[in-house]
Amino acid sequence: MRKDGYFISLGAGKNQIPLIHKANALGLKVISVDKNDKAPGFHFTSIKIIESVHEYRKLYKSIGEIPLIYPIYGVGTRSFGKTVYSASYLAEKLKLPGVKPNSLKIFDNKRKLKEFLEKKGIKVPNYYNWRSNSLMAKTIAIISYPCILKPSFSESKKGIELFYNKDELKEKLNKISPDDSSYLLEEFIEGKEITVLGLVQNQTFHLVSISDKITTTYPPFIEISHRLPSDFEDHSGEIKIICQSIVNLTGIDNCPFVAEFKITNSDEIYLMEVKPEVGGEYLADYLIPQFYGYDYFQNLIKVFIGEPIETKAQKSDRNLKKSHIVFFAPPENKSKLKQISPFEVEPSENLFFRENLKQEGDTLLTSQGNHSRVLVLGIETKKNISHEEFDKSIRERISVKFES
């Protein structure tokens, strides 16, 4: 392991702290960047730069003006969007491991990304274009219902809509421009959902975890549970092949990797989303280390500084333990959080994480997607019960009340 060197952390907020701590644990001194001079991560850093993480040219100039006594070994973030671009720019300029800016561009637009991957043989839901009002009528006639319309640039499930018939879809499409690149119109795939986390190093995809994902039945399909072990562990070989193909086709390297898939009753695997990012949902922070004992963020730092990683999460005995991240979402449309009752943990359980995401009295809009959730628990059991029974037991023991 390299010693006496710096790691640049783009961000010093709460969510960036795990990355900062692991850099310190590996013997690196941290240069943190954040526009908030009171960001909590600054308490654990050697050098502070008060600047927006999106101002990559200013950051490059500022870093060059610091009289550093050791070399810089890596730069990284666990954020998304523009911050990932800043990390890419700095890695290229400073000749550090990281994704090349040109490889990131294709991930900007979900529609263009799926069009590209589908042409290269990756199975994705059928998607539809409408280049004029006349072609829109044809699209409405041939598309399978229900269908999904989602913003091409959205995060956290915002803006996803489900249409059950021609009239509903026509009314919506008439309100947006023909073939608007801001939207992705695609068929709705019936199936079970999984989330795949991995790390890419030296152009090789390394699988970290496959977890089952449960969402609300209503759009925008808010995520309400993530579970280990997955019911689809026996699909890991095919999933690794698909993910490695995505790495090869897009050219991403030395980065995190998160993807979402749907698996149908006929065992067809459809790619729903993919990004060279850490992803959220408390998987890397809590679920993976709790279930596997795998230090995701330590290995992510190793990716960013070019050190060999542990290539596989240790297997847990699936017959002894089930681990869940459980979210509580409001009813569809608009409501207000009234009350969250105490939660009683059973002797066979371990509550390893809890966070209130909203306060009593907060107004909630499910159109805001995952941001409308009110509470999250991380909990595991050694009982020999199914995932569904465990989830039901948890929800029966805590009362979350809403009012219209």
Does the structure show a pLDDT above 80 at 137? yes
Task: Specify the long-range contacts of residues 335-338, CB closer than 8 Å, at least 24 apart.
Answer: 335/363, 335/364, 335/402, 335/403, 335/404, 336/361, 336/362, 336/363, 336/364, 336/402, 336/403, 336/404, 337/361, 337/362, 337/364, 337/374, 337/400, 337/401, 337/402, 338/401, 338/402, 338/403
Give the model confidence (pLDDT) of 322-346 as tens digits.
Answer: 999 999 999 999 999 999 999 999 9
Domain architecture of the chain: domains with CATH:
6-96 (3.40.50.20), 126-187 (3.30.1490.20), 192-403 (3.30.470.20)
> For 207, phi and psi rounded to 5 degrees?
-75, 130
17-25 and 296-305 helices cross at what angle (nearest 10)?
Answer: 70
Rounded Cα distance between 139 and 134, Å, is 9
Mean pLDDT of 361-370: 94
Instruction: Look at residue 153 in the predicted model and tell me its pLDDT.
Output: 74
What is the Cα–Cα distance from 335 to 22, expressed in whole angstroms? 40
Burial of 81 (0-12, 13-18, 19+ CB in 10 A): middle
Query: 271 and 318 in contact (C-beta within 8 Å)?
Result: no
Predicted confidence (pLDDT) at residue 156 exceeds the cutoff of 60: no
- CB atoms under 10 Å from CB of 153, counted, come to 16
Q: Which carries the bigger pLDDT value, residue 180 or residue 376?
A: 376
Residue 318: pLDDT over 70:
no
Q: Give the pLDDT confidence score for residue 84 in this predicted structure.
A: 96
Q: What is the mean pLDDT of residues 203-212?
A: 97
Q: What share of the chain is helix, strand, coil (3-state, %, to 5)?
A: 30, 30, 40
Residues 6+ apart with CB under 8 A from 399: 339, 340, 341
pLDDT tens digits, 48-100: 999 999 999 999 999 999 999 999 999 999 998 899 999 999 999 999 999 99
